[in-house]
Amino acid sequence: MTREPQDRISVIDAASELGQRKQTVFKVMRRLGVKSEKEHHSNHKGQAIAYIKLSDYEKLRDYFETKNPNLDTAVQSSNKKAPFGNGWFYLIQTEPTLAPGRFKVGFASVVKDRLRQHRCSAPFAQLVDQWPCLQKWEQTAIDSVTQGCKKVGTEMFESRSGDLDEVRRRCEKFFEQMPKC
């Protein structure tokens, strides 16, 4: 069995850790002059996978941190994979004008990208707030902050009062009690 190289990272893994699409990472690599090398590995069913040096990964990370303030910089390390599960718990108002009490909550590595995804089905969606979160807290946080709300879809709820300030206060209270991440 072929082992993954220790001094490099696959572009697939780099994109995942950076919270970016693989295609976006390749575009930025070209812009920064970062070269990749393809290798076949049994870990990837014999497919040729593009790898970059860890020093080049650092350049990419620095680029995305500068361009995207929602990237969680605390989880990055110079020579290891980032710990899985660090990110943000978000509160998004999906229909501010027609249904101001309707909202979506959940976990995202990069909230800006998640908001963009939600705008495909809810074009007027707005980010209300976000809190540092571990992915394993997501379901507990959702259950806690949506008490008394009507579930209308996957991670989609409606405040019975139509007021998201109460939901925001519940989020604040929940994350005040959680350890810092």
Q: Mind listing the pLDDT tens digit for each residue in 54-69? A: 889 888 888 877 764 4
CATH 3.40.1660 correct for 8-69: no
Q: How are the residues of the chain apportioned to helix, strand and coil, as percentages rounded to the nearest 5?
A: 40, 25, 35
pLDDT at 126 over 50: yes
Structure tokens at 112: 């800006």
Question: Using one digit for the tens of pLDDT, what is the confidence trace for 88-118?
Answer: 999 999 999 999 999 999 999 889 989 998 8
Q: How far apart are CA 97 and CA 25, in angstroms?
A: 36
pTM exceeding the 0.85 threshold for the entire prediction: no
The one-letter amino acid code at 12 reads I
User: Angle 78-69-141 (CA atoms, 0-180°, nearest 5)?
Assistant: 95
Q: What's the start-to-end Cα distance of the chain, in Å? A: 36
Residues 6+ apart with CB under 8 A from 96: 124, 126
Residues forming beta bridges with residue 127, ordered by sequence position: 92
Contact between 70 and 59 (Cβ < 8 Å): no
Question: Using one digit for the tens of pLDDT, what is the confidence trace for 18-34?
Answer: 878 888 889 889 989 99
Q: How far apart are CA 9 and CA 117, in angstroms?
A: 27
Q: Where are the domains of the chain?
A: 8-69, 86-177
Q: Higher model confidence: residue 106 or residue 72?
A: 106
Closest CA to 29 of 63, 54, 4: 63
Band the pLDDT of 79: cuts 50, 70, 90. Answer: very low
Strand ranges across the sheet with 37-40: 8-10, 48-53, 37-40
What does the pLDDT read at residue 144?
A: 96
